[in-house]
Structure formats: structure tokens, C-alpha cells
Chain A
Amino acid sequence: MLDIRRIPIAALIGLVLTTLFVLAAVFAPLIAPHGNAEIVGDVWEPMSSAHWLGTDNLGRDLLSRLIYGARITLFIAVLATALSFSLGAILGFSAAVFGGWFDTILSRLVDLLMSIPTLIMGLVVLSVLPSNLVTLILVMGILDSTRVYRLSRAVAVDINVMDYVEAAKLRGEGSGWIIFREILPNALSPLVSELGLRFIYAVLFLSTLSFLGLGVQPPDADWGGMVKENKDGIVFGIPAALIPAAAIAALAISVNLVADWVLNRTTSLKGGRG
């Protein structure tokens, strides 16, 4: 089914990089040369054979922090995206299929949520609620699901009027079959392309929150938090802040390369055989 040689080169690069990030995240304690919060040297040491990427603002090994950071960043971003997609897509599809008051109430609620800038909303909620991973993921997921809801509702409204959906309704199929078997497979392409984008937004949003001090709490740090810790170094020409930033960029690009490739395959109406 999946022939390695037929994967385009760009997708291959994306796949390899993404796999590397995931592996680093999963096996962080085994790979990282030092502990996450362990102070091993001077402040902002340059790159050396002992510390490949140098040390950070407190003298911790930057490479180790980066690897542990991958774990936190990926974990939160993946869960938040998964939450936003399952919530947004299912509600969006249901709104399109059921219509009527269900659609109206849900859509106005989403409008209400979207009318408040995400960052401000996030800041308010997170400063009230206890700052832990669960609330962070929930807040990020729910705020992001409004966008997914809008997209999936718009896509599903178009699909819902197709003859094959009408045929399914005439057959007497329940909403479950209509949503998951008739609409979902046909809405996959826009959703997948959105997924690549939304995942990166989640990473960036998390970074923003951490940068503002409301995200992951020290001594743990996601990549955005690491940028914040080391930002003062930039003034002195120390690149420590740029390394986690580069990691975010690399993750963003590789995930989207993979998403584009999946997109190519899901758009095919011939089961990817053509």
C-alpha cells in the first residue's frame, strides 16, 4: 500500500524530521545528556564538545532542555489540537446536519467566543484557573475548536446537500453514519490542511503563553518558554534564544510538509491509487 519510493522528497524530509522530534520527545530521559533542571556550567557558555548547544541563562545544558522541551511542547500541542479537532469537527458537522436551533445556538456561542481575542481570553482564564497542564490543554483546545467548528460546519453544509447524503437519509441512516461515514471522509481534505496549520498555531500559542508566564511553569519549559528565559542574551550577541526558536520553525515546516502530502493523498478520489 505505502511505497517508500513513491513518497515525494519534501514529504520524506518532513516525515524524517517529525519522527526525530517525536522520538526525542518520547525518549527524552534516555537521550538528554543532562537533567532538565540540572545546572552544569556557567551562564550562557558557548557551544562546546561538552555542551553541544551551550548553556542557558542559569547554566543548564541547552540541548537537554531542548529535548525535554520537545516533550512538553509536543505533548500539549498534540493534545490541544486533538481536542480542538474532535470537538470542533463533531460539533460543526452536527450543526450542519441537524440545522435549526441546534445550529443557531452553537454558531452564536462560537461567534461569542471568537469575538474575544484568543490571547486575552486565554490570559484571563489561565490567570483565574490553577495553572497546570490539564487547564492549559483544555483552554487551548476549546479556544482553537471555534476555528475548527467554523471550517467544518462550512464544509459540511455543502456536503450535506449532496445527493448521496440525501440517499443515505432516505435509506433511514442515523446521524452517526451520516456524520462519520458520509460527511467526514469528504471533509477530510480541508480538515487535514487545517490540522497542519492549527498544530503549529497551538505550538506558537503555547509559546506565547509561556513567554507571558502563563503557560508551562518553571523549571519545566517548552520551547517558547526557553526563548523567554534566554531573550536577554540576544542583546549580548548570545544565540541561546534563537535555538529553541529555530526548533519551533523546523517543527512547523516538517509537520506541514507531512500534512501537505497527506492532503495530496486524501484529495484523490481514487483511493490514492491514481
Chain B
Amino acid sequence: MADGKAKSGLLLDIRNLRIEATVYPPGEAPKTITLVHDVSLTLEKGKVLGLIGESGAGKSTIGLSSMGYGRGGVRITGGEVILNGRDILKGGKEGFRKLRGREVCYVAQSAAAAFNPAHRLMDQVVEATLLHGTATRAEAEKRAVTLFKKLSLPNPETIGQRFPHQVSGGQLQRVMTAMALCSEPDLIVFDEPTTALDVTTQIDVLAAIKDAIRDTHVAALYITHDLAVVAQVSDEIMVLRHGRLVEWGGTRQIIKEPRQEYTNALVSVHEIEHKEQQPGTAPFLSVKNVTAAYGGGQVKVLKNVSVDIYPGQTLAVVGESGSGKSTLARAITGLLPPEQGTVTFDGRPLGNKLADRPKEDLRQLQMIYQMADVAMNPRQTVGTIIGRPLEFYFGMRGRERDKRVAELLDEIEMGKGFVDRYPAELSGGQKQRVCIARSLAAKPKLIICDEVTSALDPLVANGILKLLLNLQQVEKVAYLFITHDLATVKSIADSIAVMYRGEVVRYGAKSKVLTPPFDAYTDLLLSSVPEMEIGWLEKAIAGRRMESAGN
């Protein structure tokens, strides 16, 4: 640290920051839009400020401006960013080069994508330190090992020798935090560091990050869309919307006494009232003792799984990554033929392989994917995407088809104007709605929803869940809802199956599954869901009965 480290005092002072970008809307001339409207903030040394808001709120853009960086054509056009007493925007390219990786470091959302897969972790962790010449390689590596220990990574002495693909997602995220801390910066920008992780892994990473921040006295900007997460790590919270400041205050004030309506909406999101339906007399789809494996029987991912789905009801399958929830969906749809066991549909066994199933069976089972942007062909318009099942299953053509497409667009609360749009011209929530419309077009009895809301902002996800519930009322369709988010489960499920390492560990009606006494895994899962309460993290860590599988 060039200028000595005081324990208190102003570190970052952003004044009237204005950020603009040029956009190219369809059918119009390019125009300049303002992403961030004159936002100001201050951050003291050693403090953590949480930036929260939905996609497009400008939170990442503001976070990155503290290192003078504008992503993809974004320009900082006004205001000052004062770090350690000088305006970094005036420093030019040389100034940025000295600043980044030394005074300010960055932790990206997807560590898996941010690490270079061709280099060992250690080389990447110490790279910035060596480039800035603040330590020799031996010193830097020693420091890195200390950090690995502090972040409770397994085998801290040797983990640096591994390649990024050899460690799990949660570990990689912690290695990235170590990378940011290694050059002993004054400020770290955490850009949604736990969003891509399972709840059970998230809690470990959160705890590690929190401890590391406390022990190194580094200041941090913590960017996330999850208020419950940010409440655990930050001293202050800033709520942003459409590039404008909504509310800024202490963590306790924001979550307990929000003053703005929008903050209130964020705080109380997820509270959908859903009355549990009693299971009917006969399930129309039942999975009986299904065992499935990848790699020709080498890796068993489903072990003796049995679940039932009743008409017009929702079965939620919960579990962390690798628990086999998506594989269950693949076995039901026929993408992965089970080794043993049967799937019965409407009283008759379903063909094991996709190719053995008649078109009618395929129509009755539809699927919605987690990533709406890759689940739609980017070269097809919304009209083609929704219209194709109509053509394919019902032989609709021309005007009849277009009429039905318009009806479906109506049902998903999107207007007619979207028919000619391409997926790239839709927002995340709109994309997922189009995917819902595509599956509804087939008039199915069951829709398998594979983590359909986990890539979305909480408010948007909330809208999607409400839409799914409404559609269930209207279309009498059943859902198999795969998720790792227990809040989602509470708001949508009628019955729940908890999966752990390929087995169903708990199964039954929602009220029964969510009532104690719990088995160890369900307890871990339930207690790992961040609650909007200060001090929850410490309590949850202390009260755990088992380690999460990702560790």
C-alpha cells in the first residue's frame, strides 16, 4: 500500500456519476441512453456497501466505475470517482493500470468463466501482485496459501497447483476471492459472487467472504440482487433502480424499515400465498424405482427414485447441484433412458427412449429450461418459436396459427408486437415467458420446469411464478418443478421431493415435508436459505448438523 493504511477515513467517494452507452434499437437510429443518473456514494475504509437492484439497475456499472472500467462500450461521461483522495477518472490509461489489481480488485459472478482454464490457479492468484511488483513470487504464494486457509479451502498448500476445472464452483469462487485479496487492495468489488451457487454452497462462500473482509480490513462493494444475502455481509445498503438511487441507509434500516415503496417490494418479494392442494385419487404420472446412470452405468445419478404427480398439481423437486434433479427430468422425458424402473403415464408405461414414444406422448410432456436464452433458437422469431408446436402437433397453418399465437402471447401477458421479435430483443423475463408459451402451445398435461426462475431477478421471478400459478388454474396443467430455491418451493408446490446424491430423502405433501422433525439434509437445505435478518449467517453456520456436499 503506497499511502499507508489508516483504519478509518474516507476511501471511495463517487460524486454525481453519470454513465452512458449507445444502443441500437431495432428499426430506429442509434441513440445514447443514460444508464446511471448522477449517483453519488461514499465508502469508508474497511466498510462494506451493498449495491442492490434488479438487472439493468446499474449496480454492476457503478461497481466497475470504482476501477474506472466501463463494460462493452459503456462510457463514464460525468462525475468524479475519488479513490484514496484522487480522481481516478483523470489518471488516464496509465493511472488505471496502476490502480486495477492493486488498489481495487474485482470478484466476478461466474468464477468458472472468469478463470483461464489453461493456467494453474496459483499462477492466476498471484498474477496481479507480481505485475505490480509489490511482492516476490515466494511472498505472494505464501500470502495466497494463508488466504486459502482463511477461506477454508481444502488442501490450502496444494490447491494452487490445480487447474480451474479440478475444483468445485464454490471453491473456485473462494479462490477468486483469494485472488482479489492477494494484492492487498483497499477495495474489492464483489459482483454477485454467490448468485450462481447452490444455497448450501452459497452459505459457505458467504461466511468465507465475510471473515476475509473482517480480517483483512478491506473495504468492499457487494453487488447482488438478493437482499437477504447482502444483509449478511454489508454495513450499508444502497438500493438502485433504472440507474437511479432509490434508498441508501444502514442494513438494519433498509430491511426492517424500508422507506421507499420499491425497497419494500424487494424486501417482501417471494411471499406468494399458495394453498396446498390435497393429492387426488390417482396420479397420472408415476415414476417407480427409477435408476439411471451416465457413461454406460459407470456413474449412477439416480438411485431407486419413486415419485407421483397428480393432475393439475405441482411436485417440487429440491436439492443442490449434482443431486440428480435434472437427471430425473431427463429420465421422465426420455432423454436419458433409465436402467431400471418404469415411468407410467395415464396408466400405461412410457417408452424408455425418446424415439420409442408416439408424438401424442411427447405432446403431453413439455419442458421449460433454466436458461431461456439458449432454450430458444436465436434465429427464429417469437412467432415461429410459439407457432411451431401448433403446426407440429395440431397441423395449424396460416391465420389460424397466428391467431392462436396471439392468444398465447396474451396469456403470458405479452402484446402482439412481440411476434416478429428475435430472442435477442427480449429481456430475461420475457424470454422465459415465451418459453412458457411454447410449452403451453402443445396443450400438455405436464410441464417440467427445470430451474425456470433461478436465472432471473427476484421481482421478475416472482412475476413468472405468479404467471405459472395462474396458468395452472386456467389450463389445469401439472408441473414438475425442479429448483434449489426453497422460497420458490414454498410459493408453488403441492408436494415436495427432497433429493440428495441421487436419492429421494424426503417426499410428501408440502406441509408434511416442511414440518419438523427434519432429516439432516433437509435441515441443512432449509437452514441454508438466506433469511432477511442480521446475524442469520452466523446462527446458521453454528446450527448446522452436516457439511454441504460442495465442500
Contacts and interface: CB of A to CB of B under 8 A. Distances in A.
Contacts of A271: 26, 381, 422
Given A163-B371, A274-B26, A269 B333 contact: no
Interface string A209-223: 000000000000000
Contacts of A273: 26-27
B379 interface: yes
B335 interface: yes
A46 to B, nearest CB: 53
Interface in A151-168: 162-164, 166-168
A269 B377 CA distance: 10
B414 interface: no
Interface in B371-390: 371, 374-381, 388-389
Nearest to A174: B392
Contact of B377 (A170, A172, A182): A182
B424 A164 contact: no
A185 B380 CA distance: 9
A171 interface: yes
A5 interface: no
B369 A167 contact: yes
A269 B374 contact: no
A268 to B, nearest CB: 9
A173 B392 contact: yes
Contact of A269 (B367, B369, B378): B378
B423 A269 contact: yes
B10 interface: no
A170 B26 contact: no
Contact of A167 (B27, B375, B423): B375
A168 B442 CA distance: 13
Contacts of B374: 162-164
Contacts of A163: 369, 371, 374-375
Contacts of B333: 170
Contacts of B392: 171-173
Given A163-B369, A167-B367, A172-B362, A270 B422 contact: yes
A107 interface: no
A164 B376 contact: yes
A99 B366 CA distance: 25
Interface in B40-94: none
A98 to B, nearest CB: 12
A167 B392 CA distance: 13
Interface in B149-208: none
B27 A164 contact: no
Interface string A2-34: 000000000000000000000000000000000
Interface string B16-27: 000000001111
Contacts of A208: none
A186 interface: yes
Given A170-B354, A170-B362, A171-B392, A270 B377 contact: no
A172 B335 contact: no
B359 interface: yes
B407 interface: no
Contact of A170 (B25, B27, B367, B388): B367
Interface in B330-388: 333, 335, 354, 357, 359, 362-363, 365-367, 369, 371, 374-381, 388
B531 interface: no
Contacts of B380: 181, 185
Interface in A229-274: 269-271, 273-274
Contacts of A171: 362, 388-389, 392, 442
B533 interface: no
B425 interface: yes
A270 B424 contact: yes
Contacts of B371: 163
B377 A185 contact: yes
A172 B356 CA distance: 10
B457 to A, nearest CB: 21
Interface in B122-139: none
A79 to B, nearest CB: 28
Contacts of A185: 377, 379-380
Contacts of B354: 169-170
Nearest to B27: A273
Nearest to B360: A172
A186 B24 CA distance: 22
Contacts of A170: 333, 335, 354, 362, 365-367
B155 to A, nearest CB: 33
Nearest to A173: B392
B76 to A, nearest CB: 24
Contact of A270 (B335, B365, B388, B425): B425
A181 B384 CA distance: 11
A169 B355 CA distance: 9
A164 B370 CA distance: 12
Contacts of A181: 377, 380
Contacts of A270: 26, 422, 424-425
Given A270-B26, A270-B424, A273-B27, A186 B367 contact: no
Q: Which of B25, B357, B363, B377 has the most CB of A within 10 A?
A: B377
A172 B424 contact: no
Nearest to B357: A172
Nearest to A182: B377
A273 B420 CA distance: 11
Contacts of B335: 166, 169-170
Contacts of B365: 170
A219 to B, nearest CB: 48
B247 to A, nearest CB: 35
A100 to B, nearest CB: 13
A186 B422 contact: no
B24 A164 contact: no
Interface string A172-199: 1100000001100110000000000000
Given A163-B369, A172-B359, A269 B424 contact: yes
B27 A186 contact: no
Contact of B375 (A164, A173, A186, A274): A164
A123 to B, nearest CB: 41
A171 B438 CA distance: 10
A164 B434 CA distance: 13
Q: Which of A168, A170, A186 has the most CB of B within 10 A?
A: A170
A89 to B, nearest CB: 16
Contacts of B357: 172
> Nearest 4 A-B pairs (CB), nearest first?
A185-B379, A269-B424, A273-B26, A163-B375
Given A171-B389, A186-B379, 15 more contacts: A163-B371, A164-B375, A164-B376, A167-B375, A168-B377, A170-B367, A171-B442, A172-B362, A173-B392, A181-B380, A269-B422, A269-B424, A270-B26, A271-B381, A273-B27
6 contacts: A163-B374, A164-B376, A171-B442, A172-B362, A269-B422, A271-B381
